[in-house]
Amino acid sequence: MGTCGGNPETDDILREKHCKKHSDSLTKYQSKKIIEQMDQSVCKMVDNHGTGFICMIPYPNDFNLLPVLISCNHVLQNEDVEPGKKINLKFEDKEILLEIDKDRKVYKSLKDDYDCTIIELRKTDGFDFKHFLHVDENIFSDNLKEAYKNNEIVYVIHYPKLDEIQKSVDSINFFSKHKITHFCSTDHGSSGSPILNLDTFKVIGIHSGNFEINGKSVYNVGTIIKFPIQEFIKKYPPKIKKNEILLKLYVWEKNINKEIYFLDNGSFEKGEDKGDSHNNLKELNENNTKIYINNIEYKYCKYFKPEKVGLYEIRIEINIPIKDCSYMFSCCKNIVDFDFSSFNTRSVTDMSYMFSSCQNIRELDLSSFDTNNVTNMNNMFSFCIGLMSIDLSSFFTNKVTNMSKMFNWCPNLRTINVGNFDISKVENMDDMFNTCEKLVYIDLSSFIAKKATSVSRMFRGCEALQNIKFFEFDGENITNMEEMFLGCFSLVYLNLESFNTRNVTNMHYMFYGCQNLKLINFSNFNTKNVIDMSGMFFACTKLTELNLMSFDTKKVENMSKMFSMCRSLQNLYFGYLDLTNTKKIDGIFKNCLNLKLLVVPKEMNAKLKYELDNRYVEPLRFKSGDQTIELYT
């Protein structure tokens, strides 16, 4: 199994150098998520003194994937994979005893150049196949040197000496006919570990040992993964699964003999994002799509005219890899249930308006969706007024750029799981949860808004929302936060410490009507570029104190009604209250019946008094430094 040199310090330096090079495409959250995925994929072969890993291999192509366990022949001997044997796999978070039975597909390479064993896995084995490694598609290129000429760095995850998991990084040495050689540091027990392309974090080979000259290790050796995969497919030719969607729709008396749509009904004519809606689903036609209604085959169509009241089952069989699912079921108001377990979305790039206005859907199981290539989720579930629960924890969203109105007007949505969302490339989140009136809690700890420019009305009208969990939200490019939390009646506390607001220009009505809000953490708010703060805290009737010490109002032009109707507000603290450029200030403290103290830096006392004194409004107790004076506001 051999040992090859290297040390952790070198690995760390190379990793840091590489990640810095690719910092634009790989965020902190992405790195963490990918590393977690890799750790869940690699295991100790406890009784076999080596490493193994779980991988989704193309079977026979990326349209159909098969989960397998991969290791080396010399780690898993012939007798280890005989029917009746059990293989002890120890992962970071669990241990699984994999039983070999006579029906399980097992491949052991017979050629000397391939040192690889592949074992089929099943759902009943206890794995979550959503989070395992994938094969790098470039490895199937006929010219590997050309395919990887700019990707010379590889990554090996292994259990050297069957100790703790390690991650080694170094350069590719060369490709031979079936072999890949590299300089990553390894040790006894590393054989069978995955070799990954560090640009894609996908598998290109299986580490098997090292090459020695005069007893000294020169470089490490592995098998290029494409060849054993091809041999596995030859041995076990796959049966291609049908790509189909099953759905149920209900026909009421009023629907008899009328057009009832089960695919896009064309209601969104010339929509703001798609243009002419009649071009939607243009990939589908009678040559590649079959329609079955209650098991009777029909010519390709989007609707039928029912003659009876009741439940109808529709099967849509699609014989191509579909790329555009936008508007696919939009305004199909009679659909009551979907089954997507046999629908392949691996090639899909657009899911905008996909379920928009599916008004009679209560729950959606989209756990089988592959969203790795999706870039647009705009209005995906908008106006699903009956939707009550949705779990999207299996979604990969690292390529999505638009999530605006994604859950807009889902007034009965009570639970939602977007805990694994990667929003690093999302530019627009306007109205994302607008009018989700029944939503009580939402975890957005994975949200790091690096490229977002607008979050206006993001939680507007979330009347029952009591808690929003932010962690590293950032938002350095956001310019618009207008009405972001407007009408969040049930919010009591908001921690916005992780918000980067240095480029925000619009905070109009940001917390309007948050009538139970008692405390907001603004400690890192930077408002130096804000122009509009009008109505920002309008009718926040439970606020007793506001600490706005981080606020800079020098560029603000509109502060009208900023604190109006804050009837419980007693103390207000500003770090920099400059009204030089403020053009509108009417009603700024209207009906702030209990406001007693306004604290600003002492040096601003005279200037502020002059500014407010000319606005013809009511007197207010004012404290500047150690002085408490009468000031006109």
- Number of other residues whose CB lies within 10 A of the CB of residue 437: 18
Residue 408 in domain: no
Q: Does 616 have pLDDT greater than 60?
A: no
Q: Are 143 and 194 in the same domain?
A: yes
CA gap 205, 186 in Å, rounded: 15
Q: Are 152 and 31 in the same domain?
A: yes
Query: What number of CA atoms fall less than 13 Å from residue 236's CA on the CB side?
Result: 15
Q: Are strands 571-576 and 597-600 parallel, antiparallel or unpaired?
A: parallel
Terminal Cα-to-Cα distance of the chain (whole angstroms): 80
Q: Are 337 and 190 in the same domain?
A: no
Q: Does 630 have pLDDT greater than 50?
A: no
H or E, element range at 173: strand 166-175
Which of the four pLDDT bands, split at 50, 70 and 90, describes residue 609? low
Give the residue from 132, 98, 130 showing the smallest Cα distance to 117.
Answer: 98
Residue 428 DSSP SS3 = strand
Q: What share of the chain is helix, strand, coil (3-state, %, to 5)?
A: 10, 30, 60
DSSP single-letter state for residue 260: E
Residue 565 in domain: no
The pLDDT of residue 232? 95
Average of per-residue pLDDT across 510-523: 95
Q: Are 228 and 250 in the same domain?
A: no
pLDDT tens-digit readout, 282-330: 889 999 999 999 999 999 999 999 999 999 999 999 988 899 999 999 9
Q: Are 262 and 360 in the same domain?
A: yes
CA gap 226, 141 in Å, rounded: 9
The per-residue pLDDT of the chain, averaged, comes to 86
Q: Domain containing 107 — which CATH number?
A: 2.40.10.120
Q: Which residue has the tokens 């199937």?
A: 140
The pLDDT of residue 603? 66
Q: Does 159 have pLDDT greater than 70?
A: yes
- The whole domain housing 303 covers 244-389
Which of the four pLDDT bands, split at 50, 70 and 90, describes residue 180? very high
The pLDDT of residue 47? 86
Q: Does 506 have pLDDT greater than 80?
A: yes
Q: Are 205 and 85 in the same domain?
A: yes
The pLDDT of residue 333? 94
Q: Does 579 have pLDDT greater than 90?
A: no
Average of per-residue pLDDT across 500-523: 96
pLDDT tens-digit readout, 53-87: 999 998 887 667 899 999 999 999 888 899 999 99
Q: Does 479 have pLDDT greater than 90?
A: yes
Query: Hey, what long-range contacts does 145-152 have (CB within 8 A, 24 or more apart)?
Result: 145/175, 148/172, 148/175, 148/197, 148/204, 151/197, 151/198, 151/199, 151/200
Q: Does 20 have pLDDT greater than 80?
A: no
Bridge-partner residues for 275, per DSSP? 271
pLDDT tens-digit readout, 354-376: 999 999 999 999 998 989 899 99
Average of per-residue pLDDT across 548-561: 93
Which of the four pLDDT bands, split at 50, 70 and 90, describes residue 249? very high
The pLDDT of residue 130? 66
The pLDDT of residue 593? 86
Number of domains in the chain: 2
Q: Are 249 and 228 in the same domain?
A: no
Dig out the tokens for 592 from the structure. Answer: 């702030």
Structural domain ending residue among the three candidates 374, 389, 404: 389
Q: Does 461 have pLDDT greater than 60?
A: yes
H or E, element range at 203: strand 202-213
CA gap 480, 378 in Å, rounded: 18
Amino acid sitting at position 191: S
The pLDDT of residue 614? 59
Answer whether the bond into residue 60 is a cis peptide, omega within 30°.
Answer: yes
Q: Are 551 and 527 in contact (CB under 8 A)?
A: yes
Q: Are 31 and 158 in the same domain?
A: yes
Q: Are 184 and 217 in the same domain?
A: yes
Which of 12-16, 371-375, 404-408 ranks highest by mean pLDDT? 404-408
Residue 470 DSSP SS3 = strand
Amino acid sitting at position 79: E
Q: Are 184 and 41 in the same domain?
A: yes
Q: Are strands 571-576 and 545-552 parallel, antiparallel or unpaired?
A: parallel
Dig out the tokens for 489 from the structure. Answer: 């009646």
Structural domain ending residue among the three candidates 389, 406, 430: 389
Backbone angles phi, psi at 25, to 5 degrees: -100, -10
Backbone angles phi, psi at 14, to 5 degrees: -65, -40
pTM over 0.95: no
The pLDDT of residue 11? 47
Average of per-residue pLDDT across 119-135: 84
Strand segments (E) across 37-136: 42-45, 50-58, 65-71, 86-90, 95-99, 106-108, 117-120, 133-134
Q: Are 356 and 216 in the same domain?
A: no
